[in-house]
Structure 1
Amino acid sequence: MAAAAALGLGLVLAAGLVVALLAGVLVAAGRGARPDDTPAATLVAARQHAAVAAVLALAGGVVVALLLVSQGDGLGPVRLAGVPGLPAALGPLAGGLVALAVLAAGERTWPRPVGTVRTASLRRRTVAELAARRGRLLGGTTALGLACLAVFALTADATGRAVPALITSEAVAQGYGGGASGPYPGAPYALPLGAGLLAVAVVAGVVLHLVARRPAVAGTREEDDLALRRTSARSVLGVAQLASGGTVGVVLLVAGAALLRSGWLLGGWAAVALGLAVGLVSLGAAATACIPRPAPAPGAAPAGPRAGAQR
């Protein structure tokens, strides 16, 4: 227990350090970018800020995920003797949480034009409007992952790391009376992985709320600000989908392999097929989130409800 606590504390501190460093870079970039107070200049600076935030978030998430995956059973001299491979299994989810934290920092550090800031639209956006199909995909992936983890926890053997072999009359006739196959994601893995899936979904929802409720980027038209919000939402949901979908896909593949070795052919092949489908869909969703959408060309701001000028 002491080793597990030390490992957890060390990982939290390391992840926090990564987030703090990348957030500092975003703050410096936001303060350093002081575009002219024109629609074109403001929009270009805002798009660049969104791109930098997305790149830094992905980089930070990958670093943390690789750190955990490369350590296998633990970090340095600290080992989790009872749950081998758990830090590696949690790597993608931890990386996703770090990336989401960096994206949240990006939402608070948009560049502001120099001089007197022009008015901006007061129209509020909703999380449902911004999330759309990607939000439903993340919710479905999370629910599927939790359901599968519950099944695996209930069907594992007493160790929680293997699945009992299927005992047939032919096996009994040949002298085989038991056995198990692993690794298998029983309760020691299912509980922390389930908590990680829920954490990613909740944090993604919180960041989406920031995207929907933040003040409009000063100096941009209403349609340009909406495009920026949708870009931010795609980044948030792409990161969350990659972390959650990748984890669920790998868990299903590992469980399917163990089931096949134990003689549970139907369940094994179903898990493998589902794991491949979830992994490929999640990878595709994350990849398309990185493709920029065509945005309206800068121009004169349309008439509409406006907030007062700020400095």
Structure 2
Amino acid sequence: MEVSMFGGLVLVMVLVVVVVPALLVGLVLWLVSRSTSDDGGAPARAARRHELLVSSVAVLAAVVCTVVLLAQPVAWPGWASAPGVLQAITPFSVALVLCVVRAVGEQTWPRPRGEVRSAPLARRTIWSLGGARLRIVLVTAAALAVALVVFGATADPTGRAFATNPVTLPDGSVVSGASGPYPGWPYGLPMLLGLALAVAATFVALGSITRRPPLHGVPARHDDAVRATSAARLLGAVQLCLGVGLGGALAVGGAAIQSRGQNLLLDELPTHGLVAVGGGVALLGIAVVVASGIAGLLAAWPRAARHAGAPAATGAPA
């Protein structure tokens, strides 16, 4: 019963927060690409279309990965440390697929022809290109790592439930119990590994965007805008995946804590605030998922070129 509820919760959360927004983003970007003019000329418009193609392929690959993984049996045999582990690591697998597709897509840009200026007007790094979005992704990853460690440390010996210490009643009887599912070490360790791989892949993909040669025939400020669009869409998608992972862990863990507190309350035993704590953690998880979904949608919007007077960050073909 607990396993089916866990799988159902993950499935509904991902379908609502990942698949539906992905389809909406694809539709919006397609409409924007048809209605938006770019004063950078035909090469700049072609660059926008190529970036949209790479982003669309990455989103499509992510949706396929999501559906395939969530369609697998919850009670996965063999290597899985607990039922539902494959579903628990789905957000990180999707982030990894997104980064791989983006990194491969960066190799499909036309190479510059003729002599290219080798000294850009401003140094570009992963940190300058990623900006605040990269810092938010890292904060989310750190928060998820801390949450998984806390859940692992507070889980019962099975690692799959939240238990409270046995209570001895006046008549000498002992009351104990546990509530689950709970993201203890059987879930936390695979999720931590998936998180590390997703973060590493994000840096690799962002580095490929940073090192992309200037686009032939595209004014520097429009080249910068296309590059910034690529980085924002990558980081927005990764933020959505990590947000779903963090929010899902908080929602599931908080629900188990709240349930245990309610059981103690029914037995007329002190809850030590578990109902309030669990409910707050679960609500925080939902808020994280919603905020990450909004961030992902906002990141999908194409970045406009800066005014001609603004300093450029890229070189351009001479």
TM-score range, shorter chain: 0.7 to 0.9
Distance (whole Å) between structure 2 residues aligned to residue 305 and residue 180 of structure 1: 58
Query: Over aligned residue pairs, what C-alpha RMSD do you find?
Result: 2.9
CA distance in 1, matches of 2:154, 2:104: 42
Does the aligned pair in 2 maintain the 1:120–1:218 contact within 8 Å? no
- d(CA) in 2 for partners of 1:251, 1:131: 26
Distance in 1 (alpha carbons) for counterparts of 2:258 and 2:315? 63
From 278, 283, 291, the equivalent of 1:268 is 278
- The 8 Å contact of residues 226 and 303 in structure 2, kept in 1 or not, is answered as no
Distance 1:158 1:305 in 2: 55
Per the TM alignment, residue 203 of structure 1 is displaced from its structure 2 partner at its CA by 1.1
Q: 1:174 and 1:109, CA in 2 relative to 1: closer, same or farther beyond 3 A?
A: farther
SS at match of 1:178: strand
AA at the equivalent of 1:55: S
Contact 1:118 1:219 in 2 (8 A): no
Moved beyond 3 Å, runs of 4+: 78-82, 116-122, 165-169, 171-176, 302-309
- Partner Cα separation in structure 2 for residue 191 and residue 147 of structure 1: 12
Describe the shift of the 1:304–1:257 C-alpha distance in structure 2 as closer, same or farther (beyond 3 A): closer
Normalised TM-score (structure 2): 0.75
Say if 2:296 is the partner of 1:286: yes
**C-alpha separation between the residues in 2 aligned to 1:280 and 1:174?**
47
Distance in 2 (CA, whole Å) between partners of 1:240 and 1:88 is 17
Supply the distance in 1 between the matched residues of 2:41 and 2:111 (Cα, whole angstroms).
13
| Cα offsets for 1:236-276 (capped at 9, x unmatched) | 10111011111110111001111111112243123112212
The alignment status of 1:200 with 2:198, answered yes or no, reads yes
Amino acid at match of 2:56: V
2:234 to 233, 236, 249: 236
- Work out the CA distance in 1 between the residues paired with 2:257 and 2:204: 37
CA distance in 1, matches of 2:172, 2:293: 45
Q: Whole-Å Cα distance in 2 between the matches of residues 303 and 142 of structure 1?
A: 31
- Asked if the contact 1:107/1:214 (under 8 Å) is kept, the reply is yes
Q: How does the TM-score come out when normalised to structure 1?
A: 0.76
Aligned to 1:294, the other structure's residue is in SS state coil
**Structure 2 vs 1, CA of residues 120 and 41 (structure 1 numbering), >3 Å: closer, same or farther?**
farther
Tell me if structure 1 keeps the 8 A contact 2:251–2:286: yes
Instruction: Using the TM superposition, give the Cα deviation of residue 228 of structure 1 relative to its aligned residue in structure 2, in angstroms.
Output: 1.2
Counterpart amino acid of residue 284 in structure 2: L
CA contact (8 A) 1:74 1:85 kept: yes
- CA contact under 8 A between 1:165 and 1:178: conserved in structure 2? yes
The answer to whether structure 1 residue 277 and structure 2 residue 313 are counterparts is no
The alpha-carbon distance between structure 1 residues 173 and 272, as it changes in their structure 2 partners (threshold 3 A), is: farther
**Cα distance, 1:45–1:143 mapped onto 2, change above 3 Å:** same
1:63 aligns with 2:64: yes
Give the Cα–Cα distance (whole angstroms) in 2 for the partners of residues 59 and 215 of structure 1.
Answer: 26
**What residue in structure 1 maps to residue 211 of structure 2?**
213
Letter in structure 1 aligned against 2:57: L
Name the aligned partner's letter for residue 279 of structure 2: W
Q: How many angstroms apart in 2 are the aligned matches of 1:260 and 1:120?
A: 61
1:64-87, Cα deviation, whole Å (9 max, x unpaired):
122111214267xx5656410111
- Unaligned segments of structure 2, at least 5 residues: 1-38, 262-273
Distance 2:44 2:176 in 1: 66
